[in-house]
Structure 1
Amino acid sequence: MAALLAGAPAASTLAQDQMAISSSVPAGALEAVLAPSHALILERHLEATSPANLVLWSLRGLSVLDTRFNAEIRQDRILLLGEDRVLANAALAPLVAPGRPDALGQAVATALGQFYTAAWRASPQVREAGAERLLASGFEELFNHLDPYSRYVPAADAREARQRRVGQSGLGLRVAAQRNALVIDAVTRDGPAAQAGIRVGEQLVAVDGRRLGPRDPGLAATLLEGPEGSEVTLTLLRGGRRRVVTLVRELVVAETVTAERRNDILYVRLSGFSAVTDRRLTQVLRDAFAEGMPNGVVLDLRGNRGGLLSQAVAVADAFLTDGEVMRTEGRHPEANRRYLAAGQDLAEGRPVVVLVDGRTASSAEIVATALSERGRAVVVGSATMGKGLIQLVAPLPNGAELLVTWSRIVALSGWPIQGLGVLPALCTSLGPEVLAQGLAQLRQGQAPMGRMLARQRAARAPVLASEMTALRNACPPAEGREDDRLAARALIETPEAYATALRVP
């Protein structure tokens, strides 16, 4: 019998260990996530595709983890290839046969489960990446072929996001590590922290008696968050004096609406669309008009990346008495919807100018488009971002989430917001001289952006990339500037220019 080196296992033990590693991929758990995910994509994604494509695209995610992998279709089978051999194969027939989305989703999951198991056994890199990264890589490659906004959100990322909130959802404050301490970084107006007199810059020393340091933001998040209505005690340090404050957790929503009155014009800024944005806007408008009728309203949506779709409709509704606000279109019957206004014009018919820039997106673009196409507001600024796709959010068995694009937003005249964005009636991004010329043309009854606006409103999905570029170059996206507000004021103070801008195209 041959002697073994000290510490070296016998050959049979090596084989057993390799088998344990090779078979440790949680195939059943992976299929439990893959089946409902792919059924949802097949049934509801905006763009129709085949189960075979979903398998092939997902397998390309393996080559991100290990470049020796490749996948292809040969005759009636899908193959997973290694450097010099076929590692696994699956029949193509179940992936091309007619069937219900849930059955086809299960067929995709079964095929991928087989391929992922083979890849796990063959590749140390795949095993090192782990099952969660294996899933995520497959979805990333799949969605690279479908659209830029659908995505898979791993459970770990969701947990980290909760930690980064650092308690602001329940206490109306945000904590950050600065220098050698944890300090109060932001305080929400009218939240529990603000009502208790907590100020930005105070040091957070302890939560419920648990001491905290600059390396404990994650622990602070865990300690600060809790059920609505529960109490938490903070130990704070300000100006060398220590104090203890007890707060009651409640639902705190970040402020998204601010307003000021200048030159008898009401300027209302919307930074986002939260669950209460419409109520705050309603209150701001009613309070301002109760003090005296302004000459006009400037709704500032620059830098607004969007938020809740329902809030976009509600905000537009605040300036409209009836009629359609927006439409959505998709493959699934439930994706085709029309949203109607059913309120009252809280601006009481006064001129409204909407400010937009290259960062204005999503729900903010809906508001700008609706008010412009309904002839209720003039849009000023630059071309917006052009995010006009809507995602469904589906929880998955492993604690992750799947965001699937299932519909597109279209303007009342039929053109898609996605890719095109909103074009202004008065462009400010081409410089002061062009802006001055545009204002002069409007005073003379001519619309400087009329031709391009008419061309945009004639566009239909899918819009050619060359056409998108031509339209957006008419007023290139740019960051907001002071000229935007000056242009808005000039329009409100010049009724003939405002009237011309309102009518185009």
Structure 2
Amino acid sequence: MLALAVLAAPPAGTPARAQEFPRSAIEAVLAAAFEAVLERHLEPVAPSDLGLWSLRGLSALEPALLVELGDGAFRLLPAAARAGPPLAAQRLPPAVLHPPAAAPPATTAAALVATAVPLLEAAWAASPALRHAGAEGVLRAMFEELFNYLDPYSRYVTAAEAQAARERRIGHAGLGLRLAAGRDGTVRIAAVAPGGPAARAGLRAGDRLLAIEGEPVSGGDLGDAAARLEGPENSLVTLLVARGNRRREVLLVRSPVPPETVFVERRDDILWLRLSGFLHATAERLATALADAFGPHARNPPRGVVLDLRGNRGGLLTQAVAVADLFLAGGTILRTDGRHPEARRIYLAHGQELAAGRPVVVLVDGRSASASEVVAAALADHGRAAVVGSTTMGKGLVQLLVPLPDGGELLLSWSRLIAPRGWPIQGLGVMPGVCTSLGAEATERALARLMAPDGAAPMAAVLARHARARVPVPAEEVAALRNACPPAEGREADRAVARLLLDHPRAWRAVAAAGAP
């Protein structure tokens, strides 16, 4: 024991930590976390495995320690002397080894914590590295190891990280403008968000920002100027700005200005819509763009729509459902499935269809994930859109936020996203109807087959196989499908293919129909 205690001493000069084992704090967090995992995680996990995987996280902080499970007991061992006597051992009670099917998760979690904590206390006493990490560091290591076994998206967020995230969401606000450094060392307003405080005050891109609250700003320290623009919501800030030779002071009230996620362009009689993410106002802004283009007062509506989701890493699931709803006349948009009854939901379209039935092309790439995959899958499965690009990321798990007693949070994967035709997004991703990631020559050959008088969709066979996939999808099948159109970053060919499909309605219909039942 004494030899082990000096193996992982913290570096010289690091601050001392309290030596007493924080039993009550660790017990409370583990009990809440283990109960949530046992009750709500997407996949069932045996309580003994839950405890073992968590305890193995100690080795990340102290490599000289090893935890094993054998003969119905947890054992804490020196890694260098596995054959010797354990530093501590705890026999697992029947409530952990063989919990009754009707046992409440809280009861099983409490028994598991009572079994694991004595090993934690022994490891704490033996390892300066664990004591230096503190309760929060030990918990982080345990959860990181646990989720290495469970899934790639669940994670533990410390109290400080959770508080910082909450402050970012609700505690600070801005002015709805973006700064850039001018060539002469000045600070310029590079962009103004529509409807934000700066826009309402009449500020424009190109205006010079001279001072904030009477303090001059410099292009050499742009980060400082940008930070000084932010502050508590509803607080006041005075800016000195210049346009040409005219200077004026502007008093602005800070308010939340969500980043712009919808970018609209009309070119070649096509409505090009790029979505960079899914935030609270995304669907509303997209609906406005569609109404302006296709509504009753629109003049000369465009002949088609390109919805560009390349590089879109997702966002709010509710916004993804609302965006898909804007293009569908009815039917299922999405189904979520999990062990817990509350994780099982069906999202239906309400028949808005704001694009007036015009053909839609969705662009995706290997970075399109989560919420963007929901939209692409819904439109493809209903034959409402032709999908162009590469296979998407395949991030199809939904995380539940579980508050913990230490102020931290557990983001726990508790349901999977199921496309309208029944295939899982997780792992598979969305398969395009026209693949551009195999290179220019392969794309040209596919388009030549499509454009032939009796041509058919080039990915029809792969799409049919893809749609038949059901949970659990074997790893070799996932690999085979994704290799048919490997994930890749979006390229200019995507836009060219989209334009070609909208120029040739028969080709568009063939590709769109290939993704539908």
TM-score, normalising length from structure 2? 0.85
Aligned to 1:67: 63
Task: Give the letter aligned to residue 474 of structure 1.
Answer: A
Matches within 5 A, 1:78-227: 78-82=74-78, 84=81, 85-93=85-93, 94-96=95-97, 97-98=99-100, 99-161=103-165, 169-173=173-177, 187-196=192-201, 197=203, 224-227=230-233
Contact 1:208-1:233 within 8 A present in 2 as well: no
Once the two structures are TM-superposed, the CA of residue 461 in structure 1 deviates from its matched residue by 1.5
Task: Give the letter aligned to residue 445 of structure 1.
Answer: G
Paired residues, what number?
484
Task: Give the letter aligned to residue 475 of structure 1.
Answer: C
Once the two structures are TM-superposed, the CA of residue 118 in structure 1 deviates from its matched residue by 1.9
SS in structure 2 at match of 1:380: strand
Alpha-carbon displacement from aligned partner over 1:262-290 (angstroms, at most 9, x marks no partner): 11111111111111111111100010121
Distance 2:24 2:397 in 1: 33
Aligned to 2:278: 273
Change (3 A) 1:238 1:133: farther
Distance 1:177 1:120 in 2: 52
Task: Give the letter aligned to residue 226 of structure 1.
Answer: P
Once the two structures are TM-superposed, the CA of residue 212 in structure 1 deviates from its matched residue by 11
Aligned to 1:3: none
Aligned to 1:250: 255
Aligned to 1:48: 44
**Residue segments in structure 1 that go unaligned for 5+ positions in a row:** 1-19
Alpha-carbon displacement from aligned partner over 1:228-256 (angstroms, at most 9, x marks no partner): xx222245677999975432232321111
Partner residue of 2:390 out of 365, 382, 387: 382
Partner residue of 2:317 out of 299, 309, 316: 309
SS in structure 1 at match of 2:150: coil
SS in structure 2 at match of 1:86: coil
Change (3 A) 1:293 1:214: closer
Once the two structures are TM-superposed, the CA of residue 62 in structure 1 deviates from its matched residue by 0.6
Contact 2:92-2:115 within 8 A present in 1 as well: no
SS in structure 1 at match of 2:112: helix
Distance 1:178 1:115 in 2: 60
More divergent stretch after superposition (339-348 vs 248-257)? 248-257
Contact 1:204-1:234 within 8 A present in 2 as well: no
Contact 1:297-1:350 within 8 A present in 2 as well: yes
Once the two structures are TM-superposed, the CA of residue 202 in structure 1 deviates from its matched residue by 6.2
TM-score, normalising length from structure 1? 0.87
Q: Indicate whether 1:297 and 2:305 are aligned.
A: yes
Aligned to 2:22: 26
Contact 1:207-1:220 within 8 A present in 2 as well: no
Once the two structures are TM-superposed, the CA of residue 52 in structure 1 deviates from its matched residue by 1.4
Distance 1:467 1:291 in 2: 49
Q: Indicate whether 1:368 and 2:376 are aligned.
A: yes
Q: Indicate whether 1:77 and 2:40 are aligned.
A: no
More divergent stretch after superposition (432-441 vs 54-63)? 432-441
Contact 2:179-2:222 within 8 A present in 1 as well: no
Task: Give the letter aligned to residue 40 of structure 2.
Answer: R
More divergent stretch after superposition (176-185 vs 414-423)? 176-185
Contact 2:172-2:256 within 8 A present in 1 as well: no
Aligned to 2:10: none
Once the two structures are TM-superposed, the CA of residue 215 in structure 1 deviates from its matched residue by 9.2
Distance 1:380 1:135 in 2: 44
Contact 2:175-2:229 within 8 A present in 1 as well: no
Alpha-carbon displacement from aligned partner over 1:145-185 (angstroms, at most 9, x marks no partner): 00000001112233455678898744335689999999978
SS in structure 1 at match of 2:398: strand
Distance 1:208 1:25 in 2: 52
Once the two structures are TM-superposed, the CA of residue 206 in structure 1 deviates from its matched residue by 5.2
Contact 1:54-1:142 within 8 A present in 2 as well: yes
SS in structure 1 at match of 2:321: helix
Aligned to 1:7: none
Alpha-carbon displacement from aligned partner over 1:85-144 (angstroms, at most 9, x marks no partner): 423322311322332111222223333333222222111111112221111010000000
More divergent stretch after superposition (156-165 vs 357-366)? 156-165
Task: Give the letter aligned to residue 328 of structure 1.
Answer: T
Distance 1:129 1:46 in 2: 30
Once the two structures are TM-superposed, the CA of residue 221 in structure 1 deviates from its matched residue by 5.8
Q: Indicate whether 1:498 and 2:508 are aligned.
A: yes
More divergent stretch after superposition (495-504 vs 441-450)? 441-450
Distance 2:450 2:210 in 1: 56
More divergent stretch after superposition (118-127 vs 362-371)? 118-127
Q: Indicate whether 1:396 and 2:392 are aligned.
A: no
Output the aligned Cα RMSD: 3.3
**Residue segments in structure 2 that go unaligned for 5+ positions in a row:** 1-15
SS in structure 2 at match of 1:291: coil
Partner residue of 2:480 out of 451, 470, 474: 470
Change (3 A) 1:434 1:74: closer
Distance 2:194 2:340 in 1: 42
Distance 1:283 1:56 in 2: 53
Aligned to 1:406: 414
**Equivalent pairs: percent with the same residue?**
53
Task: Give the letter aligned to residue 293 of structure 1.
Answer: P
Change (3 A) 1:79 1:201: farther
